[in-house]
Amino acid sequence: MDTGHSRVPSPSQLPTSFSKYHHPYFTSAEIQHLSEKQRGKLSATQEEKSRQQACAFIEAVGSKIGFPRKTLATAQNLYHRFHLFFPRKDFNYHDVALAALYVSTKMHDTLKKPREILMVSYAVRFPELAAKSKSVGGDVDMDPATAENDRQRVLAVERLILETICFNFTSKMPFSYVIKIGRKLQASKKLIKCAWRLTIDSHRTLVPIMYPPNTVALGCLYTASLLATLEPPPSPLAEAHTDSRVATILKEKGDWERTYMAEAEDLEEIAHVVIDLLIQAAQNPSANTSPRTPASPSPHPSPRNQQFSSTGTPQPPPIPYKADQLIRLKIMMRQNEHPPRPQQPLGSADPSELYNGNDIAMLGKNQGTVRFLFGPPGVVGQGV
């Protein structure tokens, strides 16, 4: 981890006090501005590859420990949020991923000590050493000095993650909304299950830090209903008709938007992001960063439900859709969809004004006083 930031002002230039507001969600304009700022010399493709590697690592370590889905999903969200404020080149993705997982365990009361998480991560990173291990749990015999150095780095990144969320431990997940809204829309169990898995996949993207959980759930239900058109029709035609009706309802603007507090335009954007993720998996099925697909088990099964091959390694998930099918689906969606809603940052038309230099410079510093507020400007003080 490189702690030297050339653009960070000297301590004498830092303000004596500063207020940092917690932003639960970011608009596409804010995401673009902040991502470009922290990407550095990396291309967008390289940035996406790094993001998928980190998400797959969180999935592998967390599943091996046996963390619940909410812990893994929140850790992935924390990782995405961290790199909106800190450059990728300055941090090893393993350190940030493990720190995000550690913070997530605190948020969901599934706490593990950093050393326990580190030991499991070594087994994931160095499977050849884990195979030679004589311990019952398969822990890698790491040099104590190396393990302690890694632990200190994780704790240092943990502090930065806590500051990026302004110590706000509130975390709302979309999974319960998938089931409740799916039943309300009279979707089949198969469609709801597909939407649930798509919701898991969505946490490998920036969708959950751009939209509230009810919108994410609706977006994944809409995506699942579109993907259902790519599969052979099931035996009960009534079920197929019901599932196609879900796409018809959510495609058009109507009373459901007021009922579920969401917009049809946002659902279409979520669908494009999730389908893009599935296209990546379909085009490169052998990559260890492939997301879990709707009709497939996890590539890193939970210890409570492991599926191993004869060699003892997890079987990679099959890809249920072909890339050309998904691309044609995206083209059809683009031909008949609503114009995107204007996505302006909160409080300002210029994201750089909302996230100025002090917003970054004061993070992780011991000089001056930083007031961490649990909501964005204009919201704090109104019940927040």
Describe the chain by its helix, strand, coil percentages, rounded to 5: 55, 5, 40
DSSP conformational letter for 139: -
Tens-digit pLDDT profile for residues 224-252: 999 998 877 654 555 666 778 899 999 99
Q: What is the pLDDT of residue 257?
A: 95
Q: How far is 176 from 327, CA to CA, in rounded Å?
A: 30
Q: What is the pLDDT of residue 10?
A: 53
How sure is the predictor about 157, in pLDDT bands with cuts at 50, 70 and 90?
very high
Non-local CB neighbours of 302 within 8 Å, separated by 6+ positions: 63, 66
Average pLDDT of the residues of the chain: 81
How sure is the predictor about 60, in pLDDT bands with cuts at 50, 70 and 90?
very high
Q: How far is 303 from 321, CA to CA, in rounded Å?
A: 28
Q: How far is 64 from 175, CA to CA, in rounded Å?
A: 21
Residue 310 pLDDT > 50, yes or no? no
Q: What is the pLDDT of residue 347?
A: 47
Tens-digit pLDDT profile for residues 137-149: 557 778 889 999 9
Question: Stretch 199-213: mean pLDDT, rounded?
Answer: 96
Residue 61 pLDDT > 60, yes or no? yes
Tens-digit pLDDT profile for residues 70-115: 999 999 999 999 999 999 999 999 999 999 999 999 999 999 999 9
Size (the chain), residues: 384
Bridge partners (DSSP) listed for residue 372: 20
Residue 279 pLDDT > 90, yes or no? yes
> Model pTM?
0.82
Q: What is the pLDDT of residue 241?
A: 66
Cβ burial of 118 (10 Å; 0-12, 13-18, 19+) is: buried
Q: How far is 45 from 147, CA to CA, in rounded Å?
A: 32
> How would DSSP label each residue in 205-241?
SSGGGTS-HHHHHHHHHHHHHHHGGGSPPPS-HHHHH
Tens-digit pLDDT profile for residues 73-82: 999 999 999 9
Non-local CB neighbours of 97 within 8 Å, separated by 6+ positions: 54, 57, 58, 61, 75, 79
Question: Stretch 1-29: mean pLDDT, rounded?
Answer: 64
Q: Domains of the chain, with CATH numbers?
A: 27-171 (1.10.472.10), 175-335 (1.10.472)
What residue has token string 């981890």?
1
Q: How far is 72 from 108, CA to CA, in rounded Å?
A: 10
How sure is the predictor about 198, in pLDDT bands with cuts at 50, 70 and 90?
very high
